[in-house]
Each structure stands twice: as C-alpha cells, then as structure tokens.
C-alpha cells in the first residue's frame, strides 16, 4: 500500500530502488482518480507534470546521480499557494482563472528538495472558514465520514493526506486552519512559529497571523517536511532570521522530566465529553513517559477569539482590496463606470463569508471606530501573548484539545457563523501569540478522530516534535486509516 506509506518510508524505498518514483506517484494519482470524486480534496490535479517529474527522478537515479531527500514524494499544496504556470484559485470565483507567473517560496523549496506536486487542494475561499464549505468550487468530505466536514480552511490538504491521496500536504494556518482539519481528519498538522516559514507567494488572508506548515501522517514526517520549508527569506520582511535546526535530530530523546502545562480554560464549557476524555488519556500517556503535568491558567483566552476576528478581518479587508477586476481575476460584465465595475466585480466574485469578513474589517478600521475595535484588539493580543509568556517561564509545552468537538455534519453550522467561529476557540490564541503548535491524533470519539494540541515557545518546534514523537511511539492512533 504505497499510498499509505509515510514520506520517510517512501524516501528510503525510492533511494534503495525498492520502488520507483513513478510507481509511487502513479499509485497516489490512481488513488486520486478513484476516490477524489467522493472526497473532493483537489481543485487541480497536475498528473502529467507529476509523472514527468517522477520519471526524471528515476532517470537520475538510474544514471547514478544522487537524489534530493524528498525525490519522488507526492505532495499536495493548498490552493492559496502560488505555483508558477499552475492555476492558483484560493477556491474563489475571483481567481478562478488566475495562473501566477511565480511560485511561493515554500513550493520552490520543496521542488528543490525533489518533492512532486500532484495537485492543489480545496479550501475555504481565501482560507476564511472552518469547514471547507466556503469553497466556490466544491465541497470536501471528511474521509472518516463522508457526511461530515474535513475541517478548514485547509480541509482539502488534510483529507488528501488522510485518504492516501498525497504523502503529505502543506496548509496555511491563520486561526487554526492546519491544526483543526488535521485533528478532524486524524492526521498530524503543525503551525510553525510566525516568521519561521516565508509567506512569499502564499496569498494573504491576515498577514500578521498567516503561517504555512505541513500536514503529514506522523510526527516524524512533520519534522522531515519542516526541514525543507523553514528559514529566513529576504523577500518576506516578517520572516525570522534565526537558525533552523535539524528537526529530525533529537526526536527520539524522550520527554522524561518535560514540564507540561494543561490550560484549564481549554477544558471548559462547550467541550465534547469524548474529546475531553481522549485528551485526558493522552495526558496520562505523556505522564507515563516521564513528563510532569500541571494545570495552568491563561486568563485572557476568552477574549482572544474576538480580538482575532477584528484583527484578521481588518487585515483581510485590506489584503483583498486588490481584487478589483482591473488587472487580473474576475471582472463583472457590462459596467457603465468605475464604481459599478468595483461593486459588481466584488459582489459577484467573492462568496458570502469573504464579504462578511471584508465588511467586518472595513468597519473595524473606519475612522471613529478604529480605537474601539482595531486598537483595542491589538491590546488584547498583547495580553494573550503575555499569558503564554508567563506560563512558559515554568513549562516547556502546553497540552490541550485542538478542537472542542469532533467533525460536525456538513451544513450543520453554515447558517450560524458564530458557532462556526467558536469551533476554532482552542487554536486561535496560538496564532494571536505567534507561537508554534502541533496537532496529533489521540484516539476517537463517536468513531471520529480527536486531535491533541501541543503548544510551544517561539521557535521551539523541536520540543513539540519530540513530545509528539514520544507519544506516537507508545500509541497507534496515527496508524489508523479511514475506510473510503
């Protein structure tokens, strides 16, 4: 079963010539061909290109050349990451026909590492949403239960990895968009520290919060992929000029004596009992491995969600203003003047949720409201950050659920945006504080995957990976696959 092997395993087998890159890529493309009509992970499949690249890798190996580490590994990219000469739609009618003349840095880096792009995955339009139901093109199903959502906004990426339609994928995470769908689809997802991964070429939703990261089958793969996407990029002024360690090194060191904080605010009202139980059991496993766990408090947690929606919407209202029908993308027909062109183009080109956020953000930035909303939200952001700084003086990582409940039914929350927003209540504070966090599968509730969230200090991804790796060393949940 090539399609369910980890990227690490595939890499070794390809190198040892036990399997060719072409066979590997073909098996995943066959899987997409067979399953994606049901799952709906992909907006674009780049089959021919992928096969060509795989054959090239095989040829190189045959000629005695050396292969880069990810050679022949089939990957998927969320369709808000620019890929030169390949459509990049953001799941929006606005960019339906947009083909970027450049690539995101993460794609360039992964290409250099040899990875083969099999397709671009579905998302909530411009990454705004928690269920991938806001895509202008298709719905993505949760591979564990096709009547349920895969989470979002990187739902296509998470579902593709869960269903064996890519060895790994990249997602972007503004308020939980990697970790939340990873949790709901039973795979591993990491949002690195803000600044760890270049944002160049990733279509912006909220610039001060967006961060790309891997969605993988296990923690080892997460480290493996992370090794190839991190680092300072002079084209992104907010990328951090800090050393990038080898994330795979030291994975197996264990967690004896690691100090783990359990934030009580993340187990309060609204949590599904099955989720709480699985997370509590997981904490037990970590204690069994030698970690020291204590309850801690992050008192401003309740305010993070509101602050997040003001800041992210404010930035989005400005970031999405460029889609005006003048230079590229969708343009409304038959307009008499400039104002009409703007209004019709944007009314027709954007979906409901995107328009809702643009209005919310525009309002929050308007003169007379700026201080009460945007400025205040920034102050709250500082307080949330300080909460974390305080507990991180005494703890190495924090552990909590990734989501308050398992995957919900398709259509269940689409009529109630607030309920939808509340689903990200455990992931949002992490973005607000710019911290790294990892979501790993920790069992099932109602036969649906539950995610365990590990939150770390800035640039301490290694610590998170070590804890996650230790956990997966003594559990089997990450080896479970959905019956599709």
Residue 444 found at the interface with another protein (CB under 8 A): no
Task: Give 101's strand partners.
Answer: none
Residue 298 found at the interface with another protein (CB under 8 A): no
CB closer to another protein, 19 vs 212: 212
Stretch of residues binding another protein (CB under 8 A), selected from 44-52, 216-224, 364-372, 455-463: 364-372
Is-contact 60 24, C-beta < 8 A? no
Stretch of residues binding another protein (CB under 8 A), selected from 138-146, 148-156, 196-204, 417-425: 196-204
> Using CB under 8 A as the criterion, what x/- string covers residues 42-81 for binding another protein?
--------------------------------------xx
Residue 327 burial by CB count (10 A; 0-12/13-18/19+): exposed, middle or buried? exposed
Residue 259 burial by CB count (10 A; 0-12/13-18/19+): exposed, middle or buried? middle
The token duo for 351 is: 């979906």
CB closer to another protein, 95 vs 184: 95
Residue 350 found at the interface with another protein (CB under 8 A): no
Site residues for another protein, 85-114, by CB under 8 A, read: 88, 90, 95, 98, 100-102, 104
Is-contact 123 78, C-beta < 8 A? yes
C-alpha dist (Å) from residue 271 to 274, 401, 423, 451, 454: 9, 9, 10, 13, 17
Comparing CA positions, the residue from 195, 193, 191 lying closest to residue 238 is 195
Q: How far is the CB of 208 from another protein (least distance, A)?
A: 4
Residue 318 found at the interface with another protein (CB under 8 A): yes
- All residues at 6 or more sequence positions from 470 whose CB lies less than 8 Å from its CB, including other chains: 254, 255, 286, 289
CB closer to another protein, 195 vs 441: 195
Whole-number Å distance between alpha carbons of 484 and 477: 17
Residue 203 found at the interface with another protein (CB under 8 A): yes
The token duo for 72 is: 């022949």
Whole-number Å distance between alpha carbons of 205 and 189: 19
Residue 314 found at the interface with another protein (CB under 8 A): yes
Whole-number Å distance between alpha carbons of 436 and 211: 10
> Using CB under 8 A as the criterion, what x/- string covers residues 158-177 for binding another protein?
--------------------
Residue 454 found at the interface with another protein (CB under 8 A): no
Is-contact 395 296, C-beta < 8 A? yes
Whole-number Å distance between alpha carbons of 246 and 286: 24
Residues in the chain: 484
CB closer to another protein, 40 vs 156: 156
Stretch of residues binding another protein (CB under 8 A), selected from 26-34, 35-43, 235-243, 352-360: 235-243
Of 35, 141, 163, 206, which lies in the binding site for another protein, with binding defined by CB under 8 A?
A: 206
Helical (H) or strand (E) element with 397: strand 397-401
Stretch of residues binding another protein (CB under 8 A), selected from 43-51, 194-202, 218-226, 381-389: 194-202
Residues in contact with another protein by CB under 8 A are 80-82, 88, 90, 95, 98, 100-102, 104, 199-204, 206-208, 234-238, 314-315, 317-318, 321-322, 324, 326-328, 338, 342, 362, 365-367, 370, 374
């Amino acid at each position: 079963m090539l399609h369910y092997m980890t990227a690490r395993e595939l890499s070794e087998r390809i190198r040892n010539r036990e399997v060719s890159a072409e066979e590997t890529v073909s098996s995943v493309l066959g899987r997409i061909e067979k399953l994606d009509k049901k799952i709906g992970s992909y907006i674009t499949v780049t089959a021919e290109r992928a096969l060509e690249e795989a054959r090239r890798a095989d040829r190189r190996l045959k000629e005695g050349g050396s292969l880069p580490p990810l050679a022949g590994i089939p990957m998927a990219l969320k369709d808000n990451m620019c890929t030169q000469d390949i459509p990049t739609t953001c799941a929006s009618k606005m960019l339906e026909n947009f083909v970027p003349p450049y690539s995101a840095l993460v794609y360039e880096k992964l290409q250099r590492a040899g990875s083969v792009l099999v397709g671009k995955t579905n998302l909530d339009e411009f990454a705004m949403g928690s269920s991938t139901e806001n895509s202008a093109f298709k719905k993505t199903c949760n591979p564990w239960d096709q009547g349920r959502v895969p989470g979002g906004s990187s739902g296509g990426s998470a579902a593709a990895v869960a269903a064996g339609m890519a060895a790994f994928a990249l997602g972007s995470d503004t308020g939980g968009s990697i970790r939340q769908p990873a949790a709901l689809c039973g795979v591993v997802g990491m949002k690195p520290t803000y600044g760890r991964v270049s944002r160049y070429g990733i279509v912006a939703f909220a610039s001060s919060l967006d961060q790309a990261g891997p969605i993988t089958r296990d923690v080892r793969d997460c480290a493996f992929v992370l090794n190839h996407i991190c680092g300072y990029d002079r084209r992104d002024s907010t990328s951090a000029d800090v050393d990038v360690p080898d994330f795979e090194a030291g994975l197996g060191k264990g967690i004896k004596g690691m100090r783990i904080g359990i934030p009580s605010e993340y187990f309060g009202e609204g949590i599904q009992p099955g989720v709480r139980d699985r997370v509590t059991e997981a904490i037990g496993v970590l204690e069994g491995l030698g970690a020291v766990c204590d309850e801690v408090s992050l008192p401003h947690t309740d305010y993070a969600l509101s602050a997040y929606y003001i800041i992210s919407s404010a930035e989005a209202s400005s970031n999405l203003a460029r889609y005006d029908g003048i230079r590229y993308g969708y343009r409304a027909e038959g307009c008499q003047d400039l104002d009409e062109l703007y209004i019709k183009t944007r009314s027709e080109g954007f979906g409901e949720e995107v328009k809702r956020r643009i209005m919310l953000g525009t309002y929050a930035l308007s003169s007379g409201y700026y201080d009460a909303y945007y400025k205040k939200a920034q102050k709250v952001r500082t307080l949330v950050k300080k909460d974390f700084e305080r507990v991180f003086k005494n703890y190495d990582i924090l552990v909590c659920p990734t989501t308050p409940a398992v995957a919900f039914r398709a259509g269940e929350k689409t009529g109630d945006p607030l309920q939808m927003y509340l689903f990200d209540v455990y992931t949002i504070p992490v973005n607000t504080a710019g911290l790294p966090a990892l979501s790993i599968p920790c069992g099932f509730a109602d036969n649906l995957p539950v995610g365990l969230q590990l939150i770390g200090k800035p640039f301490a991804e290694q610590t998170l990976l070590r804890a996650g790796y230790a956990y997966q060393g003594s559990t089997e949940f990450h080896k479970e696959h959905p019956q599709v």
